[in-house]
Structures are given as C-alpha cells and as structure tokens.
C-alpha cells in the first residue's frame, strides 16, 4: 500500500504587482496575427516576440544539465525542453511533464506519472526512459549544477514503463515535487552532444537559427500545452541591465527582463509597460560563522541591529521592494510571516560588541562588486551604518567577472546575491556542511537533524511549519544579514501582455507572452 500523493498545504499567495499596460490580454484578444508591430520598427511581424534576457556574458551554454549561469540560458532551455514540475503561483510545485508524484509509506520510493501525449520536435514520443536519462545526466554533472539532485539515488531509480518513473531517495524526503521543479529539462535518451546547439526537445518552441547570444525559435505546433501566442520568439542575451532597458525604449526588442530601478519612472512616463515582481532580488550580506570576528554570534547580532534597513532599501532599490528581516527566502511558501521586524538599535549593538570584547572596535574588509545594480552602493552604505558601533569596514569592489569565483564562499564578509528560489534550494547550495558553496559556514548538527526530520514528515502543513521554524533559527543565529528584498522590474513595449509574474526559475518561461499587435 502506498501513501496518498503529497500535496501542498493551503499557503498564502505570493503577491505580484503589475503596473501600466502589462495586463491587457482581454483588450488585445480581438487583434489578429500578421501585419506590422506597433512596438518595434516597421516590418516587424506582429507574431514575433523579441526578448532581451539577462545574460552571464561569455558563460552561455547549450547544455541544459550543467551550470546555467545566465537567465538567457534558462529561457532558451525552457522554450526548447519540458521540465517535470514548475513553480506555481505560491511557489509550490505544479505538474508539467509529471502529472503526479506519489510516495510509498517510507517516503523513499516515489512513483512519478508522466503525461502520455508529449513528443519531441522530431516526432519521437517522450518516455520515462528519456526523463530518467536526463535526471541521471544531471546527477553526473552535479559539480556544475550544485548537486541539484543529491537527494536521489538515481542508480536505483528506474523507468518500468513509458509513462512511469520510480525515483528512489537516499533518505525519507517529502518534497520530491519541489526537487523536480528546477531545470529538470528532459532530452532524448542517450543524447550526449550539445556542442553544436540545442537538440530536439518537447517544449513549446524549437530553435531554428542563431547561437547562444541570439537564438531564433519557431512555435512547436505539436506541443501538448496551451498554444503560444507568438509564432516566433527571438532571445537576445544582454548582460548589462541598462542596455536591456535601452533596447526596449529604442524599439530593438519588445520585452526586457530585469532592468534597473532607475529606468522605471522615465519608461512609464514614455508609455512603456512596467511589470514589477516582488521578492525577486536580494543582496544578503554574508558573515562567515567560522571566521573572526563573525564567529562570535554577538557580533553577527550587532551587525543586524546596527543596520538601517529602510535607508538601504530606499537607496539601493529606490524603495521598490520590502524591508528584509534576515529571512533568507522570504517568498518561500514555508517562510514564517509573523516575526517582529528588526529595527535599528545602536545602543543594543554597542552593548553586544562590548560583551564580545570589541568595545574598541574591529577592522574588517567588506567585499562587493558591480555585477548587479546597487551591490556596491549597498556595501558603501552598510559600512557607514556599522561605523558607530566600532566595525570599521573597508569596502573592496571586485570585478564582476571573477567575483563569484574569488569571493563567493571564500571571504568572511561580503555582499552576495540571491532571490526567488525555494528554501530547500538554498539549503542544498548554501547551507550544507562541507559544501564549497556553504558561504556562511553554517554547520549546526541539531539544525541539520531537525531539517532531516522535517523532510521525513508526510503532513504538508506540519512540514511547512517545521521548515519555517528552521528559517527562524537561521535568521536569529546564522550568518546572513538580509536587509531588503527588491522588486524585479521587466520592461515591455506598449501592447505586450502575458508577462509571467514568476520570479526565480519561473521567470525563464516566456512562451505565453503576447507580442505587440497592430492597433
């Protein structure tokens, strides 16, 4: 006998704010395809969407199972391939290729049912063997994808029939739906060569030309899902946020993902569409718990008490976001909601510094970069805020192309980047003892034991509460200062609609965006 399918608890909906013209689907639904777009230069087909996607520059790849360093890579993969599950509106997993995932009584053997009507663009049906091959390939490339599937014993897993996967976990693990939610792109069985480009997929589009920097996709009319409104999508990988915004305003593209906050006011004044996605961007400040002075929990708490979060939010994100409360994944469905908001307390911070034997202050280096807008500003302002409690922070700005290699997970005090991914993803990447990416050196045996126990709890509501308690402990005792959560801002030409409100991995799905239509 097996346990019933795991289902998410009743969770609060994630809040999304969309301004200007982004919700215009009803008004545009009567417009026909063809003609000339009003959102771009003359001659642009109205059934073509040109998208400027955030890019990691020269790190672009055609391999869907390794390191997808830039959002442009995720967009290209999500157009070409299907994934097993996707984030729903509240962040919990929803079906895609997988229609149901059901555990046995031990929560270590999962039966995953796949839809039977999916086919690759070359006509081959998608089978469980394809899915298992893809998952195993992800497991083999764990060093590149941060061990995304480390919870599975993929050698012991199997595909007994074309629409059934039997997945085995190494320990009881109740969040398999979430584990299958990110980048589980399914490719044909035995595919090994991605060097020449993207291989046949079962996604809503198929690539017809270009390269990793500019790729043209044509609608896959054999896709099982809702028909995309665009016949063609052109994905342009652009690393500079300001350049993405300018590309929309100049008519070169119809939609740009993640543009600077300073671009919002002039763009709205000029009639462009602005879509705000709350909870998408964080610049948490890392304090390594194994390195002085931050190995003393009193110093870490003093830093959190000395921080003026409102000033940082208003300066770095121009007020477009929410105050942080040191919760590392505040948009996760399991994130606790009723904790008292931290406010500046310089007197309390100084008392803690004295208790830690640092009444005379301490000299530290605060590392930052310009990889994302405002990271350097955040460090400069935080250094000023910490000076009154005796933390003399010298700001060192590192080059963006090497910062996440030379600084991330290495230096004891630096500005990091995060946003829009589930709590369990952060656990896997940044909170696992012994991992090179455990940037705060978090290694509390009791906390990790409680995590394993929570993941073995079959009751979804109880499990979510226990995961929330773990996040509260991390907030109070861990090495992350989360001072604010900024909105992501996407910019579009007038008439574009259907921009997804999703953040994190879900932001890479653009197949349902409607391009500009003739007036």
Q: What is the pLDDT along the chain (519 residues), one digit of tens a residue?
A: 333 333 333 333 333 233 222 222 222 222 322 232 333 333 344 699 999 998 876 667 899 998 887 889 999 999 999 999 998 888 889 999 999 999 999 999 999 999 999 999 999 999 999 999 999 999 999 988 888 899 999 999 999 999 999 999 999 999 999 999 988 999 999 998 988 788 999 999 999 998 878 999 999 999 999 999 999 999 999 988 899 999 999 999 999 999 988 998 999 999 999 999 998 899 999 999 999 999 999 999 999 999 999 999 999 999 999 999 999 999 899 999 999 999 999 999 999 999 999 999 999 999 999 888 889 999 999 999 999 999 999 999 998 878 988 999 999 999 999 878 899 999 988 999 988 889 999 999 999 999 999 999 999 999 999 999 999 999 999 999 999 999 999 999 999 999 988 888 889 999 999 999 755
Nearest by Cα to 318 from 253, 274, 255: 274
Rounded to whole angstroms, the Cα distance separating 238 from 305 reads 38
Fold of domain 283-481: Dipeptide-binding Protein; domain 3 (3.10.105)
- What is the structure's pLDDT at 285? 98
pTM to 2 decimal places: 0.85
- The H or E element that residue 111 is part of is strand 109-114
- Report DSSP letters for 171-202, one per residue: S--S-HHHHTSSS-----TT----TTSPPP--
By three-state DSSP, how is residue 52 classified?
strand
Q: Contacts from 98-102 at CB under 8 Å and sequence distance 24+?
A: 98/165, 98/177, 98/180, 100/5, 101/5, 101/6, 101/176, 101/177, 101/180, 102/2, 102/3, 102/4, 102/5, 102/6
Q: Distance between the two ends of the chain, CA-based, in angstroms? A: 59
Rounded to whole angstroms, the Cα distance separating 241 from 227 reads 30
Rounded to whole angstroms, the Cα distance separating 415 from 408 reads 9
Rounded to whole angstroms, the Cα distance separating 500 from 508 reads 9
Backbone angles phi, psi at 487, to 5 degrees: -75, 145
The CA–CA distances, whole Å, from 275 to 160, 491, 496 equal 44, 6, 11
**Residue 315, Cβ neighbours under 10 Å: how many?**
16
The alpha carbon dihedral of 61, 62, 68, 72 has a sign of positive
By three-state DSSP, how is residue 107 classified?
coil
Angle between helices 460-477 and 423-430 (to 10 degrees): 50
CA angle 139, 143, 145 (to 5 degrees): 70
The CA–CA distances, whole Å, from 37 to 44, 50, 251, 284, 358 equal 6, 11, 10, 41, 64
The alpha carbon dihedral of 184, 185, 187, 191 has a sign of negative
Domain residue spans in the chain?
283-481
Tell me the residue length of the chain: 519
Q: Which two tokens stand for residue 19?
A: 């301004």
């Amino acid at each position: 006998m097996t346990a019933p399918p795991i289902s998410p608890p009743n969770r609060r909906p994630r809040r999304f704010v969309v301004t200007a013209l982004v919700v215009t689907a009803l008004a545009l639904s009567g417009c026909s395809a063809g003609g000339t777009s009003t959102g771009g230069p003359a001659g642009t087909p109205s059934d073509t969407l040109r998208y400027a996607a955030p890019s990691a520059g020269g790190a672009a790849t055609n391999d869907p199972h390794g390191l997808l360093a830039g959002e442009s890579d995720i967009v290209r993969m999500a157009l070409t391939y299907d994934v097993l599950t996707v984030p729903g509106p509240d962040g919990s997993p929803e079906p895609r290729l997988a229609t149901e995932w059901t555990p046995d009584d031990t929560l270590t053997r999962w039966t995953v049912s796949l839809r039977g009507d999916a086919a690759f663009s070359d006509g081959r049906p998608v089978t469980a063997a394809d899915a298992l091959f893809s998952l195993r390939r992800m497991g083999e490339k764990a060093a590149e994808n941060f061990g995304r599937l480390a919870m599975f014993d993929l050698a012991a897993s199997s595909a007994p029939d074309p629409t059934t996967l039997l997945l085995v976990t190494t320990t009881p693990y109740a969040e398999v739906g979430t584990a299958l939610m990110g980048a589980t792109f399914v490719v044909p069985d035995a595919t090994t060569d991605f060097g020449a480009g993207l291989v046949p997929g079962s996604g809503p589009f198929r690539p017809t030309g270009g390269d990793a920097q500019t790729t043209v996709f044509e609608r896959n009319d054999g896709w099982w899902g809702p028909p995309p409104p665009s016949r063609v999508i052109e994905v342009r990988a652009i690393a500079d946020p300001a350049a993405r915004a300018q590309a929309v305003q100049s008519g070169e593209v119809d939609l740009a993902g993640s543009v600077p906050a300073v671009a919002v006011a002039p763009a709205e004044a000029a009639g462009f569409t602005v879509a705000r996605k709350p909870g998408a961007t964080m610049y948490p400040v890392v304090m390594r718990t194994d390195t002085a002075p931050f190995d003393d929990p009193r110093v870490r708490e003093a830093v959190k008490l000395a921080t003026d979060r409102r000033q940082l939010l208003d300066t770095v994100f121009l007020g477009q976001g929410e105050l942080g409360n040191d919760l590392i994944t505040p948009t996760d469905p399991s994130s606790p909601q009723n904790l008292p908001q931290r406010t500046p307390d310089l007197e309390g911070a100084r008392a803690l510094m004295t208790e830690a034997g640092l009444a005379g202050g301490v000299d530290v280096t605060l590392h930052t970069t310009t990889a994302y807008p405002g990271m350097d500003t955040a460090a400069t302002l935080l250094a000023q805020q910490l000076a009154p409690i005796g933390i003399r922070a010298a700001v060192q700005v590192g080059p963006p192309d090497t910062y996440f290699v030379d600084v991330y997970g290495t230096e004891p005090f630096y500005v990091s980047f995060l946003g829009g991914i589930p709590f369990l993803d952060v656990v896997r990447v940044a909170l696992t003892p012994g991992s090179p990416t455990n940037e705060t050196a978090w290694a509390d045996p009791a906390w990790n034991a409680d995590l394993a126990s929570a993941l073995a709890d079959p009751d979804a509501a109880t499990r979510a509460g226990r995961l929330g308690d773990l996040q509260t402990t991390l907030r109070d005792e861990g090495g992350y200062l989360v001072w604010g959560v900024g909105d992501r801002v996407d910019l579009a030409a007038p008439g574009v609609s259907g921009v997804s409100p999703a953040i994190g991995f879900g932001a890479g799905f653009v197949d349902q965006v409607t391009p500009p239509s003739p007036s």
